[in-house]
Amino acid sequence: MSNVLPENPLSYNNPQAIITDAWKVLDTNYTGVYHMPHCDHYKGLFGWDSPMHAIGTRHDRPAQAAMELTHLFRGQWRDGMIPNIQFPARGELLHGLLNASGLLARGNAPRGIRTSGITQPPLEAEAVWLVGKKLGTEDRRSFWGKTVPWLVRYHEWLYAARCEKKDGIIEIVHPWESGMDNTPPIIEYMRTLTWGKTADIVRSMEKVITHSRKDLRHVDDGERSSAEEAALQTIAMVSIMRNRYDARRLQENHPLHVADIGFNSIFARANTVLELLAEEIGLVLADDLKDSMHKTRQNFSSLRDPRTGLYFSRDRKGELIPISTIASLLPLYSGALSVQDTKTLANHLANPKSFWRPYGVPTVPVDSPFFDEKRYWSGGVWGNMEWMLTTGLARSGCNELAEGMRKTILSTNPAFYEYHSARTGEGYGVRPFSWSASVRLDLAHRPNDTSWRD
């Protein structure tokens, strides 16, 4: 599939035009209840996509944004886990079946909805907070009153199921849980792990896997995970399913446990917002949860590399994986950094040789041996990441950088591709993609606002 350059350039100075175009995209991908990330390629409801959609749509249609979030929580498991995918009521049979979480998780998965059995970065609290603030007093009270306990259960689950070291830092068990499916640090780490017999079986089926890959139906294979990366993702998924999505079994039998820096940055921010929300509705958080949240803040800097000041993901042995990606900068969004660390990371971000490129911030710095500008999360510019950096910078008082980013975001990717090149602006992946629109919708609605105060 060829990639076309913008036929309809966005204008930073014309936010109204951006708002109109973004809504066309969101309406195209709307099911009547939630926004699909893309109407052919991704028909399900995704765990960190829907919060991003709600953040954009809340300005004009707050009730619709609240409904999308409420729908997201319908997929929550009994133990509190929020799945990365809720499959649509009809269709997606093969993928629903392959996940088969309802059968394997024995009563833990919700009835009547097909969901995956793994999670995604916890952006829900941020969205619940921002959407609630756009609702009228009564609606807000009822929305927060209903959703905040669900958020609490999710955060409690993360600490109970995914914090093996009890240090407040969350470990994920699949690269899809990072949301950055083929991000180099996790893929490189996976290559070093022992996966047992399953791996040989999956590898011998590489051709079959490639044939059944839904993600290659709509885009060029150079824009998706490579065959080897997809095999690793499948191997990890089979291992999780063999362990019936059970936290204890996973800790005993599953080799991949990685403290992903992106996930933990989003989680640290989500904890802060959850505390604000609890205060708003007069909910007293359990002491255990408060202790865990305290540990997350206290130990966040254990993910910092003292040599470079960048933050990295940590492997199960406790070693940092020193491969820099945009997630190394996401602590700027966490709210957990000292002034000095913020400055160091902001300097890394502003470096034109690595991250600060004419068409945006790439997911892997352009001077990295892992940079591959077209290949999915190995180098493209993704709107959700840029939104988190922009708002995080603004919250930390780095207003000039935040405004620079806002300007770039509103001047790029006018056709709302899934992601685009940091070097040329060329769009990649599927289009029109919902969060590429909702991020721009949000920023276009806040023309002179760089404070983003809570």
Contacting positions for ligand GLC (CB under 6 A): 37, 42, 46, 48-49, 179, 181
Q: Which is nearer to ligand GLC, 48 or 428 (CB)?
A: 48
In whole angstroms, the minimum distance from the beta carbon of 241 to ligand GLC comes to 18
- The helix/strand/coil state of 428 is strand
Residue 24 Cβ vs ligand GLC, minimum distance, rounded to whole Å: 19
DSSP secondary structure string for all residues of 253-304: H----BB-HHHHHHHHHHHHHHHHHHHHHTPPPPHHHHHHHHHHHHHGGGGB
| Residue 179 CB, nearest approach to ligand GLC (Å) | 4
Nearest to 442 by CA among 358, 384, 370, 373: 384
Q: How far is the CB of 273 from ligand GLC (least distance, A)?
A: 20
CA distance 92 to 111: 18
Q: Which residue is nearest to ligand GLC (CB)?
A: 37
Nearer to ligand GLC, 47 or 392 (CB): 47
Name which of 116 and 296 has its Cβ closer to ligand GLC: 116
> 257: how many CB neighbours lie within 10 A of its CB?
18
What is the nearest approach in angstroms of ligand GLC to the Cβ of residue 398?
A: 26
- Cβ-based nearer residue to ligand GLC, 15 or 37: 37
Minimal distance in Å, beta carbon 180 to ligand GLC? Answer: 6
Which residues have a Cβ under 8 Å from the Cβ of 314 and sit 6 or more positions away?
Answer: 169, 258, 259, 261, 302, 303, 320, 321
End-to-end CA distance of the chain: 43
Tokens of 327: 């997630």
Residue 406 to residue 443: CA distance in whole angstroms: 7
d(CA 166, CA 173): 16
- Which C-beta is closer to ligand GLC: that of 181 or that of 315? 181
**What's the rounded Cα separation, in Å, for the pair 386 and 147?**
26
> How many angstroms separate the Cα of 225 from the Cα of each of 40, 278, 403?
19, 40, 32
- Closest distance to ligand GLC from the beta carbon of 314 (Å): 21
Give least dist CB 341 to ligand GLC, A: 26
For ligand GLC, the closer of residues 356 and 382 by Cβ is 382
Provide the β-strand partners of residue 314: 259, 320
Nearer to ligand GLC, 173 or 337 (CB): 173
Determine contact, residues 1/404, Cβ cutoff 8 Å: no
- Which residue's CB is nearer to ligand GLC, number 54 or number 152? 54
Q: How far apart are CA 68 and CA 47, in angstroms?
A: 11
